[in-house]
Amino acid sequence: MEPLLPVYARADLAFERGDGAHVFDAAGRRYLDFSSGIAVTALGHAHPHLIAALKTQAEKLWHTSNAVRIPEQERLGARLVAATFADTVFFTNSGTEAVECAIKMARKYHSAHGAPERYRIVTFSGAFHGRTLAAIAAGGDLKKIEGFGPKLDGFDSVPFGDWAALRTALSDAHGAVMIEPIQGEGGIRQVPDEDLRALRKLCDERGMLLILDEVQCGVGRTGQFYAHEWAGIRPDILATAKGLGGGFPVGACLATERAASGMTAGSHGSTFGGNPLAMAVANAVLDVILADGFLESVVKTGAALHEELEALATRHHNMVDEVRGRGLMLGLKVRGDNRAVVAGLRTSGLLTVAASENVVRLLPPLMIGPEHIAEAVDILDRALAAPEMQA
Ligand code: PLP
């Protein structure tokens, strides 16, 4: 057996180094990285400011426990609070752990307020919230749940976008709704802003907490710091990760004071969460993403790429059905097999990611320029025209 647990169908390809929007294999072949390690390397590879932050911290202190104060953590927490709806933050090492914290917090809120029976959470078909037992139960995809013993109770999945079904499914046992403002794994499926506002209103009417999973769509990817800001709403709890560390593992659960009111000393924890190295890098990521003009540039670049992709979809209407997404979280719904398209693009030097609904995801670093868009469109044009790609 191979030494690595065979839970991935990996491409036979390895990269040796990265530079900005490109990665290079051992033979020196260059690839344009429009996958960003699945929306993680938001500032590209080898960003000098992130390298400097990591090196400086590495020479000072790597790790203490959360039994003591961690100044870099306090700084990042305060900055996230200042930049978002949140009053408080818990740091994790991954998106799944941020989601787990969000689920526990919602349950604990109702329990602490005298309604422990309100532990159920409504989720949506096509959702992906991670791979822990709670996260797979929340995601609702049977393929990911089966064989792992009893499905964790407390999640009720309703069809994505079917708000009537949501209202029908609601009972007094529901204490929260959890949703991705844009489904990533689900195929770049966006919740319209007016629906997100209606969901906020429904949660308020029913005394439910609104949990947003912005693990993939957050940290500037859509051109707002967090995607829900486009809708002008404020969630109660939000899970974030991926781009927050720019490639260093870090996640966070953000919450309002009210939503977090059940969480007290001992009710949650993590050995590594909020570690000084992760905090130093995430603080450096925020230096760039929250700098004046950065998010505006993501909106502009996203619009330019979107426009190019629409034109590409017209040129290759036999191959591309639709362009989806917002900012630099974009998807091409293709005909034929999206995984074959992703593989063909990879062979042609462009890294993308497959998603449900036959979508090819384009998740470039947020600092790409017109030259990267031109390079991507050129590769897409040539790859989609190749005879072996024809649907
Ligand atoms: N939630 C969403 C929306 C995601 O896209 C992902 C990962 O793809 C996760 C949660 C899980 O994050 P992680 O893989 O960091 O645990």
pLDDT reading at 389 higher than 90: no
Model confidence at 391, in pLDDT bands (50, 70, 90)?
Answer: low
Distance from Cα 314 to the centre of ligand 1, integer Å: 32
The fraction of the chain above a pLDDT of 90, given in percent, is: 98
The fraction of the chain above a pLDDT of 70, given in percent, is: 100
Distance from Cα 330 to the centre of ligand 1, integer Å: 17
Q: What is the mean pLDDT of residues 313-342?
A: 97
If one residue of 242, 254, 272, 363 were mutated to test the ligand 1 pocket, choosing by the most ligand atoms within 8 A of its CB, it would be: 242
The pTM for the full model equals 0.98
Active-site pick, 34, 90, 128, 248: 128
d(CA 319, CA 322): 10
Ligand 1, residue 217: give the atom nearest the CA: 3
Distance from Cα 50 to the centre of ligand 1, integer Å: 22
Give residues with Cβ within 8 angstroms of 90, minimum separation 6: 101, 252, 253, 255, 263, 268, 270, 273
Tens digit of each residue's pLDDT (9 = 90 or more) over 362-376: 999 999 999 999 999
The residue whose CA is least distant from atom 13 of ligand 1 is 95
C-alpha 56, offset from chain centre: 28
Examine the residue annotation and report whether 148 is marked as an active-site residue of this protein: no
Q: What is the mean pLDDT of residues 224-247?
A: 98
| DSSP assignment letter at 236 | S
Give residues with Cβ within 8 angstroms of 110, minimum separation 6: 116, 117, 118, 119, 175, 262
Q: What is the mean pLDDT of residues 19-35?
A: 98
Distance from Cα 75 to the centre of ligand 1, integer Å: 25
The per-residue pLDDT for 388 is 80
Ligand 1, residue 241: give the atom nearest the CA: 15
Examine the residue annotation and report whether 151 is marked as an active-site residue of this protein: no
Ligand 1, residue 183: give the atom nearest the CA: 3
Element (H, E) at 225: none
Tens digit of each residue's pLDDT (9 = 90 or more) over 139-184: 999 999 999 999 999 999 999 999 999 999 999 999 999 999 999 9
The residue whose CA is least distant from atom 9 of ligand 1 is 130
Q: Are strands 329-334 and 320-326 parallel, antiparallel or unpaired?
A: antiparallel
Question: What distance, in Å, lies between the first and last C-alpha atoms of the chain?
Answer: 36
Examine the residue annotation and report whether 292 is marked as an active-site residue of this protein: no
The per-residue pLDDT for 336 is 87
The per-residue pLDDT for 387 is 80
Q: What number of other Cβ atoms are within 10 A of residue 204's Cβ?
A: 12
Distance from Cα 214 to the centre of ligand 1, integer Å: 9
The residue whose CA is least distant from atom 1 of ligand 1 is 129
Distance from Cα 215 to the centre of ligand 1, integer Å: 6
pLDDT reading at 290 higher than 70: yes
Pocket of ligand 1 (CB under 6 A): 38, 94-96, 99, 128-130, 180, 184-185, 213, 215-216, 241
